[in-house]
Structure 1
Amino acid sequence: MLDIADLRREYIKGGLHREELPVEPIALFERWLKQACEAQLSDPTAMSVATVDASGQPFQRLVLLKHFDQQGFVFYTNLGSRKAQQIAGNAKVSLLFPWHTLERQVHVTGVAEPLSTLEVVKYFHSRPKDSQIAAWVSRQSSRISARGLLEAKFMEMKQKFANGEVPLPSFWGGYRVRFDSVEFWQGGAHRLHDRFLYTRLGEGKDAWHIDRLAP
């Protein structure tokens, strides 16, 4: 059995101080995401999306953030997927951006709301054509017997749409996570990490309370 109990390292890349914090969280998130991109991290927009099923069982998976602003964090998915079915039953979700190389994490809580058809169509047709075709092929989260079935279906659909535009599948869409809390975690020496939690002061308001949390 692999012994991992003693695997550890010090976090020495720097701290996060209250005087550095903007009054609202998106400004700091944008700064950190820009720095993650500049550091050439693999998939800097990858985020874990956590949902809960009807029995209370949590699930997590990595998806790519495709847009963010004061209104929320946007991602796209198959609307028949497990995550979409769970969101339909409980729209409260959690997001986590794991920027380990920079010794940072950002944790978001909020409510996932379906995007408008106009938003989905606009993004869908901005994707590479093969990605558009792949959206038609996979019934996400369903059980399949072999990868070859997916590949055969992909070639079939690629031939079907070879000379024209790929239409938006009715089962493909996206969500905007309207956030009510954002936590910024910066690793610190001796495990004395810096954690600051932004909490929205009332539904629909743009005012935030900031707390420092013990590591």
Structure 2
Amino acid sequence: MDLEIHPDQLKVLPHHQYVTAEGLSPSNVAPSPIDQFRIWFKQAVEGGVVQEPEAMSLSTATPAGIPSARMVLFKELDPRGFVFFTNYTSRKSSELLANPHAALVFYWREIHRSVRVVGTVEKIKQEESEEYFQSRPRGSQVGAWASKQSTVVGESEVHARLHRLENKFSEEVPLPEFWGGWRVVPIEVEFWIGKPSRLHDRVRYLRVENSPDDHPEWKIERLAP
């Protein structure tokens, strides 16, 4: 990437072209975006070249429509949707509680692929959060207790709290009542492959209105680059 820098301005100059052999169209994707994502994610992981394929951008918004975005880690895919875990008192969770809609973006730069998801959100069952929490390393478990996520803290305050909790939880660390999983139930999913001259391949799935969350029907269409 080349930059053009001026005292009050920075410009990103044209950079490399995408080169991908495979094509993407409604005729060669799975009937369900869940199945198609499973195929692509498996390829991203097994190829060994994508760094953190589970990293995704999560966008939320207040009831007034003011958006915010951050990077989180995708953890589970089930027939209903995409699951991630977080503090239920964080900014993201507060916005999801007030406005239960979200957007996700996966960008796998190394293989020139991207997936965009728009959907409604729901908390997963407590026993599912419990199962995942107990699979985490002990440090991450205690860290979930120590961090009052998104709140203003003093210097070294979190580390001091962490030290106290490490002593308190000498054995098993229980699931915090303020921590758990969210599921994004998709109503729209777009798959993208980078192509030369910005003539990218884009395929979008739109959930048919009133079709059930557990067995939704999908309209599949190609989008202009």
TM bracket, shorter-chain basis: over 0.9
Q: Give the structure 2 partner of residue 83 of structure 1.
A: 92
- 3-state secondary structure, aligned to 2:12: coil
Cα deviation digits, residues 139-191 of structure 1 (max 9, x gap):
00001121x211121111111112x2111111111111111111001001111
Distance in 2 separating the partners of 1:91 and 1:177: 9
1:178 alignment partner, one of 178, 185, 203: 185
Deviation at 1:55, TM superposition (A): 3.0
Identity across the alignment (%): 40
1:95 and 2:104 aligned: yes
Mean alpha-carbon deviation: is it higher for 2-11 or for 195-204? 2-11
8 A contact 2:25–2:222 mirrored in 1: no
Amino acid at match of 2:157: L
SS in 2 for 1:120: helix
Query: 2:32 corresponds to which letter in structure 1?
Result: E
Q: Partner letter of residue 54 of structure 1?
A: P
The correspondence for 2:74, drawn from 35, 60, 65, is 65
Question: How much has 1:82 moved relative to structure 2?
Answer: 0.1
Partner of 1:137: 146
Q: What is the CA–CA distance in structure 2 between the aligned matches of 1:74 and 1:89, rounded to whole Å? A: 19
Looking at structure 2, the residues matched to 12 and 83 of structure 1 have their Cα atoms a distance apart, in angstroms, of: 36
- In the superposition, the TM-score normalised over structure 1's length comes to 0.94
Letter of the structure 2 residue corresponding to residue 159 of structure 1:
N
Q: Secondary structure at the match of 1:4?
A: strand
**Could you tell me how far apart the structure 2 residues matched to 1:18 and 1:34 are?**
20
1:5 equivalent to 2:30? Answer no
Q: Measure how far apart 1:4 and its partner are.
A: 3.3
RMSD, matched Cα = 1.4
SS of the residue 1:173 aligns to: strand
* AA in 1 matched with 2:151: S
Deviation at 1:54, TM superposition (A): 3.3
Does the alignment pair 1:30 with 2:38?
A: yes
How many equivalent residue pairs? 213
1:149 correspondence with 2:157: yes
Aligned to 2:28: 20
Stretches of structure 2 lacking an aligned partner (at least 5 in a row): none
Return the offset for 1:78. 0.2
Q: Distance in 2 between matches of 1:85 and 1:206?
A: 28
Separation of aligned partners in 2, 1:196 and 1:173: 32
Q: SS of the residue aligned with 2:102?
A: strand
